[in-house]
Each structure stands twice: as structure tokens, then as C-alpha cells.
Amino acid sequence: MKNIIITGASGGLGKEIAIHFSKNGWNVIATMICIKEADVFKDIPNIKCYELNVTSQESIEKAKTAILNDFKSIDLVINNAGVGYRSFVELSEDSKIDAIVNVNWLGVVKVCRAFIPHFREQKKGQFINISSIAGLVNLPLGSFYHATKKAVESFSECMAYELMDFNISVCTVQFGNAPTNFQKNVTKCETISIDSYNVMMDSINNIMDEKTNDNHQLTDAIVEKLYKIAENPSRKFRRYSIGFDAHLMKYLRKFLGYKLFNILIRKYVLK
């Protein structure tokens, strides 16, 4: 049986990925920031849980030691852990900026760094880094979330060059708003006395909620695509887009260019 590590696996998309791979005969190493959340996988076969905080090098190393004591080899690491922060730059807070950078980008960096030696020694391995359509296009109020996802894209592509000689596959996966609890947990700046800001925040919140509700089949599409990628790793770096929203935004940005795309966003998103 193949072995997969998933970060942020206790809920949302991570939980669905874990269950899907388990049903398809993989050993799932589900990592989470609090081991008490392991109850979500009670009575599900082939899933073993470990505490791992992607923002802590000490936690990563401790989890790695425990995992490699229990499993002789790891075939795949899916860096899924992520958080959202929707704020105007003027109103942003250091603690929240630090949190999203530490989880969404540096968490990916540190987990990859920890498991590269294992992959290199066994002469095989695969990293799938969960990005977002936010890593390819820029939308209002996404200054911090988009920046971290673009960082994941650049980091992953650069790392892929380094690992070519060791049979280690690297790819990123982008999609829009999946119907999980992610949007509900997005941190937002508070309403203030600047009318323009309040109107824009309300507009973006409504759009995100509508898209999340509309994409009721997206979660299944994501986990199925991840499984296909896992079963057939690409030797070359790849960016995979999943779902109508991701494909639409990707091609609009590519073929319209910056100026026309910017006009489109102003007209149809900001209204």
C-alpha cells in the first residue's frame, strides 16, 4: 500500500482528501494541529493521525520522527493546511499577516524541507502543494491570501528544478471556492467608518458566499483529481486547475491581459 501525508487533515478539504485516499487503498497519515481532532476519523480504516503544526519546526520534526518510525516509506505529501485573511491593507494587523504567511507559505516550505531528504534517499516521492486560483489572478481584498498563494506557486516551481535528478515530482493545484467550512473561517477586518471599504467588503463577501454555494460538486472533483495526480505523478512541474471558476479566471487573465482583466474585475466584481 502507498503512504500519503496530508497536512490540515482534521476538517474541510483535508478531511475529504484523507477519506477518499483511504477508500482507494492508501495508508493515510493525517496530520493536524490538535490531536484531539483525530476523532473525525474514528472507525475509518487506513488512517493514522499525528499532531503537526506547520508553523513550528519543532512540531514538524517531532511528527516526522514519529511518522518515519511507523512507516518505512512515504510516497506523497499533500500540503493542504491553509487559512484566509480578507482585509484592506490599511486595516491589516501584524498578527494576522504573520499567521497567514506562516501557515500558507512558510508551512509549505518547512514541510517540504523536512521530507525532501527522505524522498531523496528512497529515490522517489511526490509533493502536491494546494494553491488556489488566487495564486494565478488578483482579486479585491486578496492582498495577503493571494500573495501567499503566489509564493507557493513560485516556491514549488523553483523547488521542482532542484529535485529533478532524484525522481521527486512537484505540482500545484488551483481551484475556486469549494463548499467546505474554509470561507466561514476566513478572518476579516472589522467594519469601520469608511463607506467605500464597507461597500467593497460586503460585495466581496457576498460573491464569495454565492460562489461557495454554487460549487456544490467542486469538492468531489478536487479529491478525485488529486487521486489521479497521485497515481500518475508527472516528472515535470505541473499546475493543475480544477473547476469552472479556476479555468475561466485562468484563461481570462491569460488572453485578456492585465488591462482588460482589470477592467473586467472592476466592472463585474466591484460593480
pLDDT at 101 over 70: yes
User: Does residue 22 carry a pLDDT above 90?
Assistant: yes
Q: How far is CA 28 from the centre of its chain?
A: 17
Which one, of 109, 25, 40, lies nearest residue 75 by Cα? 25
Going from N- to C-terminal start, the domains of the chain cover 3-268
Q: Check if 145 is active-site.
A: yes
The active-site residue out of 50, 85, 145, 240 is 145
The pLDDT score that the predictor gives to residue 224 is 96
Q: Is the dihedral of CA 253, 209, 218, 234 positive or negative?
A: positive
Please tell me the least confidently modeled range out of 18-27, 49-58, 133-142. 133-142
Kindly tell me the burial class for residue 89, based on how many C-beta atoms sit within 10 Å of its own C-beta (0-12, 13-18, 19 or more). Answer: exposed
pLDDT band at 191 (very low <50, low <70, confident <90, very high): confident
pLDDT at position 116 over 70: yes
Which CATH number, 3.90.1170.30, 3.30.465.10, 3.40.50.720, 1.10.1060.10, labels domain 3-268?
3.40.50.720
Predicted pLDDT at 34: 94
pLDDT band at 193 (very low <50, low <70, confident <90, very high): confident
Question: Band of the pLDDT at 264, cuts 50, 70, 90?
Answer: confident
The DSSP secondary-structure symbol of 101 reads: I
